[in-house]
Amino acid sequence: MSDAQHVQLNHTAVYASDRRRSAEFLAGILGLEVGAPFGPFLPVDLGNGVTLDYYEKRDEPIQGQHYAFLVPEERFDAMITRLEEAGVTYFADPSHTEPGRVNGLFGGRGAYFDDPDGHNMEIMTRPYVRP
């Protein structure tokens, strides 16, 4: 077994100007729940044991990051519907030049959208094929 098989991502901090607003936004789109506060963090638990721990940072601008979520094909349409109901534009590409469209990368479907602090979120039904 390689060393890489022994290392797993457990959690990552996601900076937000309002941790509750951002955590509830993402959890709502993905069909998840926000966990109980843990110190200064507000977690969104993902299905693979990883948490996104929202951390409120009000003293400086939030630098947008990219977060990609592998989601079940049968739940993708519901996520798109929740984006539309929330008035959030989604895009087929990470540069946000193809509004209201999804992509068909690697035989799946995917879309990009901004969270309340400008993080570029991605939902995709197939993982990227790496060389």
pLDDT band at 131 (very low <50, low <70, confident <90, very high): confident
Taking a C-beta distance cutoff of 8 angstroms, is the pair 57, 114 a contact?
no
Q: Which CATH superfamily is domain 11-124 in?
A: 2,3-Dihydroxybiphenyl 1,2-Dioxygenase, domain 1 (3.10.180.10)
Taking a C-beta distance cutoff of 8 angstroms, is the pair 95, 122 a contact?
no
Q: How far apart are CA 9 and CA 75, in angstroms?
A: 24
Map out the domains of the chain as residue ranges.
11-124
Q: How far apart are CA 19 and CA 28, in angstroms?
A: 14
pTM (2 d.p.): 0.93
List residues bridging with 16 in a β-sheet. Answer: 56
For residue range 59-111, what is the model confidence (pLDDT) as tens digits? 989 999 999 999 999 999 999 999 999 999 999 999 999 999 999 999 999 99
Taking a C-beta distance cutoff of 8 angstroms, is the pair 66, 25 a contact?
no
Q: How far apart are CA 78 and CA 29, in angstroms?
A: 8
